[in-house]
Amino acid sequence: MENPLTPEVLADPVALTRALVDIESVSLNEKAIADCVEEVLRVVPHLATYRHGNTVMARTDLGRSSRVVLAGHLDTVPLNNNFPSTLRGDLMYGCGTSDMKSGVAFALHLAATLPDPRYDVTYFFYEAEEIESRYNGLHLVAEAHPEWLTADFALLLEPTYGIVEAGCQGTMRATVVTTGVRAHSARSWHGVNAVHGAGEVLRRLSTYQARRVTIDGCEYREGMNAVRINGGVAGNVVPDRCEIEVNYRFAPDRTPAEAEAHLREVLAGYELVVTDSAPGALPGLEAAAAREFLAAVGAAPIGKLGWTDVARFAAMGIPALNFGPGDPNLAHHPDEHVEIGKIRDGAATLHRWLAPA
């Protein structure tokens, strides 16, 4: 495939967004887009470029006193009759336009066109963010090349609609089990219905009063919800087991251990098994580079309602923020699109922040 990321395309973040969207890169199929990104970065004289799997890392080494990371994932969710991209007025439609190839375009545009940033910059273009963590490019880099991640501040170019979203919530999944006694449904009084027993679990969840926590001026709104129920044996059998999957999104002032303790308190009396957990990230506003970035944006940050890879950096003691042109409400949507004006405005903001004074 001829590389569509030509010098003319790299110079224009809008054209670059469209070119990236038009390289199909559903999770675990990122080789083609990683090849294109690596090829153009290898010839940029002010960058040292490396690759691990389908994650490409490029960095400046200018002797600056601080180093920042710009990171964006190359993968998308599966296509949904939204490939390739289309333009309709000031909107660009297509899989990944919002989440997050418009953000990736910011990093790639700057990497190729800004030879003397005010900080040393590490650029990550990484694989498999949309699926299980074990495939995530940043996770794999942390295992194989942890020194690549060293920085004073990180910016994840996730869709935020041009607003700085600070930190992120933690997330926990658990399975709650209700049990009963199996019986023929014609003689149901001989059994105990485990599906009916789930009613109390659902009542507790539906009446749960979630916290709203403000940290460094950023509000994080928690949520605890049943997201799946599985139970039943046959059409004529009283079921003896029912499983309710619960997802708890918790504010970053709670550790996963504290979140689990709270979940068990709410659902006391029931068998509960935690199946997945990831910590949140505190707002990350204290780094000098973060304060200068906020000044370039010119608007106050808000709390990130969701989990992003800022948590990986926070776990290493690196403050991190989210910022990108896409609308997070359109992520994974069949009508996914991005406003061209948001791409241009966001690229100008990042240039204002990174360009030498």
pLDDT tens figures, 237-250: 999 999 999 999 99
Contact 342, 161 (CB under 8 A): yes
| Residue 94 pLDDT greater than 80, yes or no | yes
In whole numbers, what is the pLDDT of the chain averaged over residues?
96
Single-letter amino acid, residue 39: E
Marked catalytic residue, from 30, 129, 260, 336? 129
In the predicted structure, residue 1 carries a pLDDT above the cut 80: no
Q: Per the structure block, which two tokens stand in for 356?
A: 């030498």
Residue 228 has pLDDT above 90, yes or no: yes
What pLDDT shows up at residue 159? 96
Task: Find the catalytic residue in 75, 127, 309, 327.
Answer: 75
Query: What's the pLDDT at 133?
Result: 87
> 129 an active-site residue?
yes
In angstroms, rounded to a whole number, what is the distance separating the alpha carbons of residues 66 and 140?
Answer: 24
pLDDT on residue 357: 79
- In the annotation, is 75 catalytic? yes
In what helix (H) or strand (E) does residue 194 lie, and over which residues does it extend?
A: helix 194-206
For residues 39 and 23, the answer to whether their CB atoms sit within 8 Å is: no
Q: What is the pLDDT of residue 292?
A: 95
What b-and-e string marks burial along 338-348, b requiring 16 or more CB atoms within 10 Å of the CB? Answer: bbbebbeebbe
CA–CA distance, 143 with 141 (Å, rounded to integer)? 5
User: Is the distance from CB of 226 to CB of 202 less than 8 angstroms?
Assistant: yes
Please give the single-letter amino acid code of residue 314.
A
What are the two backbone dihedrals, phi and then psi, of residue 45, each rounded to the nearest 5 degrees? -65, -25
Find the length of the chain: 357
**Structural domains in the chain?**
7-168+281-354 (3.40.630.10), 170-278 (3.30.70.360)
Question: Is residue 76 pLDDT above 90, yes or no?
Answer: yes
- Overall average pLDDT of the 348-355 stretch: 97
Number of Cβ within 10 Å of residue 147's Cβ equals 6
* pLDDT at residue 200 greater than cutoff 80: yes
